Amino acid sequence: MWERLSYYGMRALLVLYLVKSLGFSDRDAGTVYAYYTSFVYLTPVIGGYITDRYLSYKFAIYLGSVLMLLGHLSLAMPNIHYFYFGLCLLALGNGFFKPNISTIFGRLYTNTPNLRDSGFTIFYMGINLGGLLGPIIAGSLGEKVDWHLGFFSAGVGMGIGILVFYFGSRSLPESIWAKTENRNHHTQVSMGSNPQNLASHSKETNGETDTISKITLIGLLSFFSIFFWMAFEQMGTSLNLFALRNTDRFFFGWEIPASLLQSLNPLMILVFGPLLSFLWFTLSKTNKNPNPILKFVISLFLLGIGFLVMVFAAEQAEKGMVVSILFLVSVYFWNTLSELCLSPVGLSFVSQMAPVRFASLLMGIWFLSTAFGHYAAGILSGYQREWGSMAQFYAFFVLVSWSAAIVLCGIYFWKRTSILWLINDTNQTKDDDGSPIRASVES
């Protein structure tokens, strides 16, 4: 919670600070945002690799935490060079922190797997509670008092997080810190002329075909997730600037800071996340719960509805009108529903579908696609006022989202039988001890 408070508090201020305080153009601010957020999702692949081979989990978590703390403090310095240095430290620190904290958390439930989902639910709620509080604290201080004080408050949050981890981790069992060999190792099978070996070889050949199919399916959904993040991350960029320039943010004489609206998304996740989870659970009882591919289609469709609302808001703004804040509330509502249908579903899908020996690689590909989406979001956001019109700019995301939904839906129904067979086969796959195989998931 404290780490996410620091991250989302800083994220809420980033573009506003560049444009309002440093005088960056929208395009330059979007470029900085693009590079920073994409590297945030690239570095965990590198940090996870280095930790697996050279570092202990505890040292990697402390290293990442301290680097992020120094990054926030560097942002608090009134110098552009310190600002860029701080962003680099934040991205590097996140690379060591993000993959390892979730790995350790998951290990707490090795002996109580029935409690794992409940534990990760609390974990997820903590993340979004931090995402809710960060913009409120850092955003208000940054916009209303001093930008650098806002960045400093994010650093204070990270510092508290380090203390929480230091004292809390002392009560954790030592076994969770140990690095163990993957028990699902690949073994060579000698063929010979034994009929049993021939049957094993046939089964192995079919297994290789299934492996390729599963990897292809994960790659397909990773590709379509790029279109989601490309639009969704406008919340931190173009929508943030729209709130600053074109939205009536006065409430009983008090002007709501533009950055404060970044708290709407995590707040709505806390409210609607359990409701949507209950809906999937209820539908699963009657075998009507949509499979992950259809949930991706639903997500992209809902995302398009949100940006269609923004088209109407932009049309009013271009007529010189100050737009009601309810437009952005509506956009964030549809974006949140879209996120809940794609982001956790995608993580779960990759972790369950990925063949064990490729689990880390395929999770890395998932985050790589997220990085591409964030990069595209930042670059495109710079053209908000250069697209021809703002209405056309937001209409582009409607077109892209709905087009991607239609194409993915077409692919699904074209290969429906094969896709459903793969999903059902994966759900029924058992490990050596009879329990379902589940790759580690990085939330």
Question: Is 219 in the same domain as 353?
Answer: yes
Q: Which residues pair with 430 in a beta bridge?
A: 436
The type of residue at 320 is G
**Integer Cα distance of 4 and 415 in angstroms:** 39
Q: Which domain holds residue 82?
A: 1-174
405 assigned to some structural domain: yes
* Residue showing tokens 């397909």: 220
307 assigned to some structural domain: yes
| pLDDT given at position 184 | 42
Question: Is 168 in the same domain as 235?
Answer: no
Question: Is 312 in the same domain as 260?
Answer: yes
Question: Is 101 in the same domain as 245?
Answer: no
321 assigned to some structural domain: yes
In CATH, what number is assigned to the domain containing residue 373? Answer: 1.20.1250.20
Question: Is 8 in the same domain as 128?
Answer: yes
**Integer Cα distance of 328 and 324 in angstroms:** 8
**Integer Cα distance of 359 and 118 in angstroms:** 23
| pLDDT given at position 442 | 35
195 assigned to some structural domain: no
95 assigned to some structural domain: yes
191 assigned to some structural domain: no
Question: Is 170 in the same domain as 104?
Answer: yes
359 assigned to some structural domain: yes
Question: Is 226 in the same domain as 288?
Answer: yes
Distances (CA, A) of 35 to 150, 237, 366: 22, 13, 18
Total domains, the chain: 2
Last residue of a domain, one of 128, 157, 174: 174
| pLDDT given at position 356 | 65
pTM: 0.81
User: How crowded is residue 60: how many other Cβ atoms within 10 Å of its Cβ?
Assistant: 24
Cα(first)–Cα(last) distance of the chain, in Å? 13
Q: Which two tokens stand for residue 405?
A: 């939904």
Last residue of a domain, one of 115, 147, 174: 174
Q: What does pLDDT average to in each consecutive run of 10 residues of the chain (443 residues)? A: 90 92 92 92 85 86 95 93 95 88 79 74 84 92 92 93 93 80 42 47 57 85 94 93 92 88 92 87 85 92 97 93 94 94 82 69 80 94 86 96 96 83 62 38 35
Question: Is 277 in the same domain as 395?
Answer: yes
| pLDDT given at position 437 | 39
Distances (CA, A) of 227 to 265, 301, 324: 19, 12, 28
Question: Is 159 in the same domain as 218?
Answer: no
42 assigned to some structural domain: yes
Question: Is 291 in the same domain as 423?
Answer: yes
Question: Is 275 in the same domain as 153?
Answer: no
HSE at residue 171, side-chain half, CA atoms within 13 A, is 4
| pLDDT given at position 427 | 59
Last residue of a domain, one of 122, 149, 174: 174
Residues in the chain: 443
